[in-house]
Amino acid sequence: MLPILKKKEHYNFGDIVFYIITYLVFAALTIACIYPFYFLIINTLTANEISSKTAVLLLPQKIHFDNYVKILKLNGLTDALFVSVARTIIGAALTVFASAFLGYLFTKKEMWGRKFWYRFVIVTMYFNAGLIPWFITMLNLGLRNNFFAYILPAIVAPFNVILVKTYIENTPQALQEAAQIDGAGYFTIFIKVVWPLCVPILATVAIFAAVGQWNSFTDTLLLMTDSHLYTLQFILYRYLNQASSLASIMRNSGAGIGQSVSNLAGSQTAQSVRMTVSVVVILPILFVYPFFQRFFVGGIIIGAVKG
Amino acid sequence: MSSPSSSTTYVKLKKNKHRDRFKLFFMALPFLILCFTFSYLPLYGWIYSMFDYRPPFKLYQCDFVGLKWITSIITNPAYRNAIGDVLRNTFAISGLNLLTSVLPLAFAVFLNEVKRGWFKRIVQVLTTLPNFISWVLVYSVAYVFFSTGDGVVNKILIDMHIISSPINFLASDNHTWLSMTLWSLWKTLGWSAIMYLAAIAGIDQELYEAAKVDGAGRFRTMWNITVPSLLPTFFVLLMLSVANFLNNGLDQYYVFQNAMNKAHIQVLDLYVYNIGVGSMNFPLATAVSMLKSIVSIALLFTVNGVSKLLRGETIV
C-alpha cells in the first residue's frame, strides 16, 4: 500500500495514478523552492577546494566554518550588517506603532475631519508619482546619504492602517468606554487597552514591515553613495555583479577592499564569498519564517477579506 | 457615557467633546504630514518634466519648455523607437504574468485533493518561502546555478559530457521574457495560492458529499465545485493585475539586466530608472513616469468600473 493512500478507502486504478502524479508534482515544486537555499548552505560549509571543483549536491564534505569567520573581515560587511539590522528593527517598530496609533485614531468618530483624513491616507495606495519625482523629492528633503531615508517613507503604510483599523472595530468597545469613564485619555486608552488587544494583528504588521525593510534594495541603489550606509542586499548585489573584479582582487592584493580580501586565506574563492554573503542575507528569513508563518498567512487572508 | 444630570456637566461634556475633536486630529497630524511628504509632495516633481532640468542646477535656473519633453516621446524618433520597444517588453512580460495567473488557482485546486495533512502543510509552507526572499537573492540563486564559470548547471552538464563549453544562461537574450516570467512564478506561486486555499477552506463540505452521492467523480467535483467557488477571488486578483499592467517593478529587472538582454528586459520601470538615474535625463524620465502613473490610474478606474458592471461590487 502506498503511504499516500488511506487504508480504509477504496481506490481504483485511476485514483492511484492521479495521486502518484499529484504528489510527485507537488514534491518537485517544493524541492524546487527549497533546494537552492539548501545548496547554498551546504556549499558554504564544504571545504572550498572541493566546492569550487565539483558540484556538491547532497551533503557537505569536510565541514568547516572558515567562510563565515572570514567573511566578517570583508570591508563593509559588518557595517552593512549593522545598517540592515538597524533599519529592520527601527523601521518595523515605527511602522507598527504608526499603524496601530493611526488605525486607533481613525476609529474615533469624533475626530475632526476623520473621513477626509482617512481617505487622504488610504488613497496613497493607488497612485504613485513615479521613481524620478520621488527621487528628486528625497534629494530636496536632504535624505540622500541619510539613514532616515530608510525609515521615514515606510512609517505610514496605508494597507497596515486599514488592517489595524478594521481589527479594532471588531473588538468589543466596552473596554475602551470603561477606561474612558475612569478618566483615561486617548493615549492612555491606546497603550493600556487597545494595544494589548491588537497584538495578533500587530505581529502580522511587524513581520511584513521587517521583511520589507530587510529585503529593500532600490532605496539604497537610488539614494546612497556613502558606503557606510549600504545594506546587506546592496553589498550582495555588488559582489554578484563585480564577479570578475572581486576574483581578481582576491588574487592580487590591492588597495581598499582588496587588502581586506587578501587577508582572507587563499582558499576563499569569489564564488564562496558570494554564497556565504547570500546565506548571511537569507539566514534571518529562514530562522524567522517557520515561527511566523501563520502570521504571514493570517495577514494575507485578512487582507483578502477586506480588499 | 453617563447621561448629564445637570446643565453644567452637559455643557462641560460638550466642550470636552469639541476639544477632543482637535486633540485627536493633532495626534494624527505627524503621521498625516509624513504621508503628505512621501506620497503627495513627489507629485510636485512632475513639474520637472516641463523644464530643461540638469541636476547640478536649481530648477529656476533652467529653461521652461512646456510640453516639449512629453511630446518628444512621440515626435522624437529615437525616443519613440526606444519607448516602443520598452512598451513591447512591458506588454509581453505583463501579458505572460496574466496568463500564468491561473497557475496558483490550479495549484490550490490540486493541493486540495491531497488528503495527507502533513504533506499539504509542508508543501504550503515551503513553496511560500521564496516570496519572502529579495530579488537580489533570487538573482544570487540564479547566479550560483546558471553562471558560466562557477554555475552548478554548467558544471553538471559538462561533467556528463552533454555540452563541451559552458552555456551563458544569464548573459543571453534567448527567452528573456519567458525566463523573467518563470523566475517570478517561482517566487510567487505558493504565496498566491494561499489566497485560494483560504477560499477553499470556506467551501461547504456538504457540497462534496452531495456530489459524491450523485456519482460525480473527482474531476467533476474539482471542476464544478472547487473552481467555481474560487472564481470571484480569481476575478479580483486578475483585475488588480490588469490595473498594475504597467507597474512591473524595478528590482527584478534591474538585478537581471545586463548588456546582452537589455533589448528584451527593459520594462517601463527599468527604462525610467535607466534614462533618469543612468543617463541623467530627468525631464524625459519624469515625463514617462508621469504618463505611466496617469495611465495606471485610468486603468484602475476602468477595472473598477468593469468589476462594478460584472459583479455589482467595486474592487477599491
Cross-strand bridge partners of residue B298: none
Residue A249 lies in a domain: no
Mean pLDDT of B280-300: 90
Give the gap in angstroms from C-alpha A243 to the nearest C-alpha of chain B: 10
pLDDT category at A61 given cuts 50, 70, 90 is confident
Alpha-carbon distance of B304 to B115, in angstroms, equals 38
Closest to B113 (Cβ–Cβ): which among A22, A34, A156? A22
pLDDT in tens, B184-205: 999 999 989 988 988 888 888 8
pLDDT at A8: 62
Residues B32 and B88 in one domain: no
Instruction: Give the range of the structural domain holding residue A57, as residue numbers without chain letter.
Output: 13-64
Q: In degrees rounded to 5, what are phi and psi of residue A236?
A: -60, -45
Mean pLDDT of B266-270: 93
**Pairwise CA distance, residues B7 & B119, whole Å:** 69
Would residue B112 count as lying in a domain? yes
- Grid coordinates belonging to B165: 563549453
Q: How high is the pLDDT of residue B271?
A: 94
Q: Which pLDDT tens digit goes with each residue over A140-153?
A: 899 999 999 999 99
In a domain, B166, yes or no: no
Please determine, for residue A261, whether its predicted confidence score (pLDDT) is greater than 70.
Answer: no
Shared domain check, A285 and A136: yes
Residue numbers in A near B284 (CB within 8 A): none
Residues in chain B closer than 8 A to A114 (CB atoms): 24
Model confidence, pTM: 0.87
Q: What is the mean pLDDT of residues A74-83?
A: 87
- B201 and B102, same structural domain? yes
Which residues is B64 bridged to in the sheet? Answer: B51
- Check whether residue B12 and residue B125 sit in a common domain: no
List chain B residues with CB under 8 Å of A221: 254
Number of structural domains (chain B) is 2
Q: Are residues B15 and B125 in the same domain?
A: no
Per-residue pLDDT tens over the stretch B113-140: 988 889 998 998 899 899 999 999 999 9
Same domain, B16 and B128: no
Q: What percent of chain A has pLDDT over 70?
A: 85
Give the domain CATH number at A220: 1.10.3720.10
Q: How many CA atoms lie within 13 A of B133 on its CB side?
A: 31
pLDDT tens-digit map of B163-172: 888 888 888 8
In the stretch 203-262 of chain A, residues with CB closer than 8 A to chain B read 211, 214-218, 221-222, 233-234, 236-237, 240, 243
State the DSSP code for A194.
I
Determine the Cα–Cα distance for residues B79 and B284; give it in Å rounded to an integer. 9
Last residue of a domain, one of A64, A85, A102: A64
Least confident of A91-100, A297-306, B72-81: A297-306
ipTM: 0.85
**Domain, as residue range, for B279:** 77-133+176-311
Please report whether residue B81 resides in a domain: yes
How close, in Å, is residue A92 to chain B by CA atoms? 15
Number of inter-chain CB pairs under 8 A, A vs B: 262
Q: Is residue A289 part of a domain?
A: yes
> Per residue, what are the HEC states of A224-251?
CCCHHHCCHHHHHHHHHHCHHHHHHHHH
Distance between CA atoms of B244 and B101, rounded to whole angstroms? 13
Give the mutation candidate from A131, A233, A301 for the B interface (greatest B CB count, under 10 A). A131
Same domain? B15 vs B118: no
Look over chain A and give the mean of its residue pLDDT values, rounded to a whole number.
84
Structural domain count, chain A: 2
| Same domain flag for B228 and B275 | yes
Question: Does residue A59 sit in the same domain as residue A81?
Answer: no
CA-wise closest residue to A160 among A102, A74, A200 = A102
Are residues B37 and B94 located together in one domain of the fold?
A: no
CA distance linking residue A204 with residue A21, whole number of Å: 35
Weakest-pLDDT range from A203-217, B54-68, B261-275: B54-68
Q: What is the pLDDT of residues B29-47, one digit of tens each?
A: 999 999 999 999 999 888 8
Q: Does A153 touch chain B (CB under 8 A)?
A: yes
Q: Give yes or no: residues A160 and A214 share one domain.
A: yes
Report yes or no on A154 lying in a domain: yes
Does residue A270 sit within a domain?
no
CA distance B147 to chain A (A): 10
Are both A29 and A119 inside the same structural domain? no
Q: Is B59 on the interface with A (CB under 8 A)?
A: no
% of chain B surpassing 90 pLDDT:
41
Cβ–Cβ gap B286/A130 under 8 Å: yes
User: What tens digit of pLDDT does each residue of A214-255 get?
Assistant: 999 999 999 999 989 999 999 889 888 775 455 555 544 443
Alpha-carbon span B140 to A16, nearest angstrom: 39
Please check the confidence at residue A25 and state whether its pLDDT lies above 50: yes
Asked if residue A266 belongs to a domain, the reply is no
pLDDT at A14: 84
Statement to judge: residues A172 and A197 lie in one domain: yes
- Weakest-pLDDT range from A5-9, A198-202, B125-129: A5-9
**Considering CB atoms only, which of B116, B126, B198 is closest to A304?**
B198
Same domain? A108 vs A187 = yes
- Name the phi and psi angles at A139, rounded to 5: -60, -45
Residues A122, A24 within the same domain: no
Instruction: Give the 3-state secondary structure of chain B.
Output: CCCCCCHHHHHHHHHHHHHHHHHHHHHHHHHHHHHHHHHHHHHHHHHHHHECCCCCCCHHHCCECCCHHHHHHHHCHHHHHHHHHHHHHHHHHHHHHHHCCHHHHHHHHHHHHCCCHHHHHHHHHHHHHHHHCCHHHHHHHHHHHHCCCCCHHHHHHHHCCCCCCCCCCCCCCCCHHHHHHHHHHHHHHHHHHHHHHHHHHCCCHHHHHHHHHCCCCHHHHHHHHHHHHHHHHHHHHHHHHHHCCCCCCCHHHHHHCCCCCHHHHCCHHHHHHHHHHHCCCHHHHHHHHHHHHHHHHHHHHHHHHHHHHHHCCCCC
Do A221 and A159 lie in a common domain? yes
Cell representation of residue B298: 485610468
Considering the domain boundaries, does residue B192 fall inside one?
yes
More confident residue, B215 or A26: A26
Q: What is the pLDDT of residue A298?
A: 66
Co-location of A49 and A90 in the same domain: no
CA distances from B214 to B217, B223, B226 (A): 9, 15, 16
CATH number for the domain that contains residue B245: 1.10.3720.10
> Could you tell me if residue B22 is inside a domain?
yes
Evaluate if residue A256 carries a pLDDT over 50.
no
Residue B114 lies in a domain: yes
Count CA atoms closer than 13 A to A150's CA, side-chain side: 28
Find residue B51's DSSP bridge partners.
B64
What's the pLDDT at A307? Answer: 40
The reply to whether A19 and A53 lie within a common domain is yes
With respect to residue B198, please indicate whether it lies within any of the assigned structural domains.
yes
Same domain (yes/no): B125, B241: yes
pLDDT at residue A172, as a whole number = 87
Q: Which grid coordinates belong to B126?
A: 515551503
Distance CA A167, CA A302 (A): 9
Beta-carbon contacts of residue B186 (< 8 Å; ≥ 6 apart): A32, A33, B130, B138
* B246 & B299 share domain: yes
Same domain as A60, residue A75: no
CB–CB contact B44 A289 (8 Å): no
B156 in A contact zone (CB under 8 Å)? yes
